[in-house]
Amino acid sequence: MNRFEKICKEIKEVKIQGAENIAEAALRALQIKNNDEAKLKLISLRPTEPKLQNAIKYAERFGIEASLRKMKENRERIQKEGAKILKKRNKIFTHCHSSTVISIIEQGLKEKKEIEVYNTETRPLYQGRRTSKDLARLKIPNTFLVDSAMRIGIKRSDIVLLGADAILANGKVINKIGSELVAETAQRFRKKLYICTSSWAFDPRSLHHLETPMEYRDTKEVWKNAPKNIRVLNPSFEKIDPRKITGIISEFGTLKPRQFIKRIKKEEWIFSKK
């Protein structure tokens, strides 16, 4: 297996996790093999990932290296912007794994802020374990919870930070399954919920009322040898109501969902066909 195919396999099998990391890996793959066939294959691997598609689109217009640099610049702006909302002492809840959320937490540490994190295991692939490993590396106090105990973690936290796989023209955010439940619970306990992502998570298709594909994964990830006559569902994502979102933290600053959509429309390249 060559390096290009290896990266594709790692993206498809969620060995490379998080929208930001997937987009960066796709650009690295394009440095190895850069043609229309390669681009179509990369885009097909994770259909609910506009950030991957937008990274490729930016690379088509400005070059792969420029796309990688822009991602790095956006990431640095977001982590500094995100750290602004953190207080001197913080109890944060998060779900799944987001490299952007981790970078904000790391920036908070650099600014001498005290941080404690509650996070979920995120079945069936347990992406939450990666979050906890990142937190352990940073020596941050961490409480790891089963998904069904998220209410406890949210109730004990001061603020909720989530990543985003996609942002739609109506302000809805697509993120890991369980995220809408997180948002509903945060609203119930009056906890502020911030979405942490670059503008490249926006799906321009949604402006034309085209549905962002919602990935369903192999049911064997949930129950490998389920008995007959049992229907197993394994949805990867769900939509968060924008009314439950306090703000979207991006390279544009911290904006309400409606403000974010207004701002993204000024990025002409994202709507171009090439």
Catalytic annotation, residues = 96, 165
Contact 52, 27 (CB under 8 A): no
CA distance 210 to 168: 10
CA distance 131 to 55: 24
- Helices 64-84 and 50-62, axial angle in degrees (round to 10): 130
Query: Would you call 48 exposed, middle or buried from its count of C-beta atoms within 10 A (0-12, 13-18, 19+)?
Result: middle
User: Among all chains, which residue has been given the structure tokens 């794994």?
Assistant: 97
